[in-house]
Structure 1
Amino acid sequence: MVVRCAWAEKMPVPRNSKTTGSKQLRPGKAGAVENVRPEKEESFQAKRSPSSPQGAPKKRSAFGDITNAHKNQAGLRKKDAAKAGPRKAQKGTAALGVLKNNEINFKKSTRKTPPAEVPVDPKLVPKNDPVPEEPAPTQVPAIEDIDKEQLGDPYASAEYAKEIFNYMKEREEKFLLPNYMENQHDISRDMRAILVDWMVEVQERCPPCVDDFLYICDDAYKREELIAMEMSILRTLKFDINVPIPYRFLRRFAKCTHASMETLTLARFICEMTLPEYDYIQESASKLAASCLLLALKMKSLGGWNPTLEYYSGYSSQELHPLVKRLNFLLTYQHDDKLKAVRTKYSHRVFFEVAKSAPMDMLKLEVALKS
């Protein structure tokens, strides 16, 4: 007699399906039930079926008659008994076995090879005992901030100095003079040189008044004529008289080398020597200032062009070499008695008598520029 499980009786039977109870299964064909595990079926029935009375045979599932599930019951009982034991004891025994094996393996490894030094991982070191780190070498910045010392001076405008000089350098292109001598025949180069030399001679430290200009002109013009000419000049220039001049750039570039006042004055003398010379009118103000300073540094044996000068001026040393040679040639061979205002001015002790400094030999200057 085949006994069905309790859950199988409650499940509805499909119409087209045939019940397994109406047809006996052949002993040799067990493939229809190979997916059913006997141990699960046995445990499930043990929970659902009530305990059998004494002396009565225990109910078995239908699969027990055609499979070898009854042969595996003894093994299943032993496994259940082992599982029913205390888990803590099993874990403790396993842990002791692992520790003993680790100890044996450690002894074997120490006999064969000496202990190697294990690198310390900084992440694994406790925070209370940090690994001392070697101090990184301090790197001196190659470019110096020349405006840092004057940040508190409201007249220096150190916060905007870099932007101001960049703006002035952009305006240089607007005020580059063309070769205007070819377009007029009223004055010559020599006449221009005499006029500029006279302007250097008559300039004063404070801006002169109109009467002073009339006196300088020996009353050749009236007051109304002088004022009318000034107004005409301003209208022609559209009142845009903020012209970038080398003198402004020269003072800033000298700060990059911490040049003394005597070295700066020597560079100014070289710069003003170019005023009467028509050949220098097409040079930009910043490049002329940088070349004058480089020549003054070479004349004083104070080194050459450093990274700070190259950064703030925008010129490399090689770009300035041709103009530096021309300036040294001008100091060596320009001795016109008619044009002596600049030399006379810088021969005074107020200007450290820099006009009396001997120019460099051309071959020595060539070697000094390459070094």
Structure 2
Amino acid sequence: MYCPSSMHPNANKENVSTSDVQASFVRITRSRAKKALGGVSIPPTKPSFKQQKRRAVLKDVSNTSAGNIYSDLLEGGNIKASRKCVKECKEAAKEDANIAMEILVDMHKEKSKLAEDLSKIRMAESRDAFLSNSKDEEITEQQEDGSGVMGFLQVVDIDSNVEDPQSCSFYAADIYDNIHVAELQQRPLANYMESVQRDIDPGMRKILIDWLIEVSEDYKLVPDTLYLTVNLIDRFLSHSYIERHRLQLLGVTCMLIASKYEELCAPRVEDFCFITANTYTRPEVLSMEIQVLNFVHFKLSVPTTKTFLRRFTRAAQASHKVPLVELEFLANYLAELTLVEYSFLRFLPSLVAASAVFLARWTLDQTDHPWNTTLQHYTRYEVAELKNAVLAMEDLQLNTSGCTLTATREKYNQPKFKSVAKLKSPKRVASIFSR
């Protein structure tokens, strides 16, 4: 190791100076220097204030404004110069904020334009599909009128209101793409009464659901709760055998589960026990709740007929300047009639919803065809695909079987629903399918 004594061979420890120690090429600590100087301590070197400030500024080399302020203060600059610099920084920040806002506005405009372009592409695809399926028919395309409503071959865009966040206009088409797939996954068996159940029959199921419709009215539950209740009942009965004396227990339990999922303020367990005249106790209801939830693996987010009916009704009224409330009430009435019918399990929820809109439009107006390109685009069903469901639904509307269960009819006979249960078409809908 290189040491100070090699530079001064004739010098003793007392004659070694501090400058000699600092002149060496070896890093000398204060302890070594003290030893070399015979016990004389060296006070620690204190860097100047100017050196400290420069080191602090260099920590962030991009902060040139801060460096200029420190330089002005250290080199004798006045306070006014530093204030001027701060003012310039604030103005620059304000200008950057304005630029950022302009960028956000431009991004919003581009997003809206993209949604519009995407909608036009989907409309064009639907129009091409319609034309390919109508090669043998002579159809003339009408021009767009001043109200913005397109001709028969044009699809009215029901997702054009991009300013309404609740409509989810930009994502609506993708959402319903996923919903159409999901309705195939959580679907009950259409023949579980024959293949699984031995102690109950379709008539008992009809009585149970008709009673649950009354319960939903008494407790003022939303329609989604009723549809989810029926879905849970059918899914459970599709794979689990149940005795007839426990069928009502299953019904109130499924309505309890659906209420917890759909309602803002769900009825209590005791309320559902009371509605059965205390036939079932609280522990029995809770035990059945555990069975149902474990069976469906807590998968409660399933598309029902009501899920599709909202969008299809909107598509049906796309060309109306003022929405027709009778059409909405009548479509809901027809769809709700199918809940009590076991035979409708063979139809997909989306097909039932489309058929309800088809029959509702026909019931209100027989002068025009109830189906158009807009409905075909958004429902994804052609007229021929609706035939069986529409004819079966019309039988329910006319009560051709003489059913004595009247919960749904009494519900939609009320003035708040415009008494749509009394509406009937003078012409049978079968005449459309024979054209």
Q: Distance in 2 between matches of 1:296 and 1:290?
A: 10
Structure 1 range deviating more: 239-248 or 171-180: 171-180
Pair 1:249-2:308 in alignment: yes
Q: Check conservation: 2:158, 2:314, Cα contact below 8 A.
A: yes
Map 1:83-98 to 2 at 5 A. none
Residue of structure 1 in register with 2:169 after alignment:
158
CA displacement at 1:313 relative to structure 2: 0.8
Counterpart CA distance in 1 for 2:200 and 2:426 is 34
TM-score, structure 1 normalization = 0.58
Q: Residue in 2 aligned with 1:233?
A: 292
Moved more, 237-246 or 154-163: 154-163
1:326-345 residue pairs with structure 2 within 5 A?
326-332=392-398, 333-337=400-404, 339-345=405-411
Task: Give the alignment partner of residue 355 of structure 1, picking from 421, 425, 432.
Answer: 421
Superposed counterparts of 1:126-165, under 5 Å: 140=150, 142-149=154-161, 151-165=162-176
Q: 1:184 to 1:236 in 2, by over 3 A?
A: same
> In the alignment, does 2:374 pair up with 1:321?
no
Residue number in structure 1 paired with 2:193: 181
Residue equivalent to 1:205: 220
Q: How many residues in Structure 1 have an aligned counterpart in Structure 2?
A: 231
Is 1:279 aligned to residue 343 of structure 2? yes
Displacement of 1:216 after TM fit? Answer: 0.8
How far 1:168 moved relative to its partner? Answer: 1.1
Whose helix fraction is larger, Structure 1's or Structure 2's?
Answer: 2
What's the TM-score once normalised by structure 2's chain length? 0.50
Query: Contact conserved, 1:244 with 1:285, CA < 8 A, in 2?
Result: yes
Give the 5 Å matches for 1:70-149. 140=150, 142-149=154-161
1:49-68 per-position Cα deviation (integer Å, ceiling 9, x unaligned):
xxxxxxxxxxxxxxxxxxxx
Structure 1 residue 251: deviation in Å? 1.2
Counterparts of 2:407 and 2:143, CA distance in 1: 51
Q: Structure 1, residues 204-232: CA drift from partner, whole Å, max 9, x if none?
A: 33432222112112222222322222122
Deviation at 1:359, TM superposition (A): 4.2
Which residue of 2 is the match for residue 33 of structure 1? none
Larger Rg: 1
Q: Assess, with a 3 A threshold, how the Cα gap between structure 1 residues 155 and 188 changes in structure 2: closer, same or farther.
A: same
Partners in 1 of 2:269 and 2:168 — Cα distance?
Answer: 32
Distance 2:174 2:316 in 1: 20
CA contact (8 A) 1:291 1:323 kept: yes
Shift of 1:264: 1.1
Q: CA deviation at 1:138?
A: 7.2
Structure 1 residue 369: Cα displacement: 4.5
Q: Distance in 2 between matches of 1:295 and 1:173?
A: 24
Q: What per-residue deviation string (whole Å, max 9, x for no partner) do you get for residues 153-198 of structure 1? A: 3333222221111111111112332200112211111111100100
Which of these residues, 309, 317, 328, is aligned with residue 375 of structure 2? Answer: 309
Partner of 2:320: none
Distance in structure 2 (CA, Å) of the matches to 1:257 and 1:160: 20
Aligned match of 1:265: 329
Where structure 1 has 5 or more consecutive residues not aligned to the other structure, the ranges are 1-136
Residue type of the partner of 1:165? Y
Please tell me the residue identity of whatever aligns with 1:188.
D
Tell me if the contact between 1:176 and 1:283 (Cα under 8 Å) persists in the aligned partners.
no
Seen in structure 2, the aligned counterparts of structure 1 residues 269 and 162 have a Cα distance that, compared at 3 Å, is same
The answer to whether the 8 Å contact 1:298/1:368 transfers is no
Q: State the one-letter code of the partner of 2:278.
A: D
Kindly indicate whether the alpha-carbon contact (under 8 Å) linking 2:362 and 2:425 is maintained by their aligned counterparts in 1.
Answer: no
Selected match of 2:274 from 215, 226, 229: 215
DSSP 3-state at the match of 1:264: helix
Quick one: which amino acid aligns to residue 311 of structure 2? Answer: R
Measured on the aligned residues, the alpha-carbon RMSD in Å equals 2.1
Deviations 1:129-167 (A, max 9, x none): xxxxxxxx9754711221222x23333322222111111
Counterpart code for 1:265: F
Residues 274-315 of structure 1 deviation map (CA, whole Å, 9 limit, x = unaligned): 111111112100011001110110111164211111111110
| Equivalent-residue separation in structure 1 for 2:349 and 2:201 (angstroms) | 23
Partner Cα separation in structure 2 for residue 331 and residue 143 of structure 1: 30
Kindly indicate whether the alpha-carbon contact (under 8 Å) linking 1:177 and 1:282 is maintained by their aligned counterparts in 2. no
1:271 corresponds to which letter in structure 2?
A: A
Unaligned runs of 5+ in 2: 1-141, 145-149, 222-265, 318-322
Partner of 1:36: none
Instruction: Indicate the SS of the match to 1:175.
Output: coil
CA distance 1:216–1:147, change in 2 (3 Å): same
1:351 and 1:210 mapped to 2: Cα distance?
30
Q: Which amino acid aligns with 2:167?
A: A
The alpha carbon displacement at 1:247 in A equals 1.1
Secondary structure, counterpart of 2:184 in structure 1: helix
Distance in 2 (CA, whole Å) between partners of 1:145 and 1:216 is 46
Tell me the SS of whatever aligns to 1:185. Answer: coil
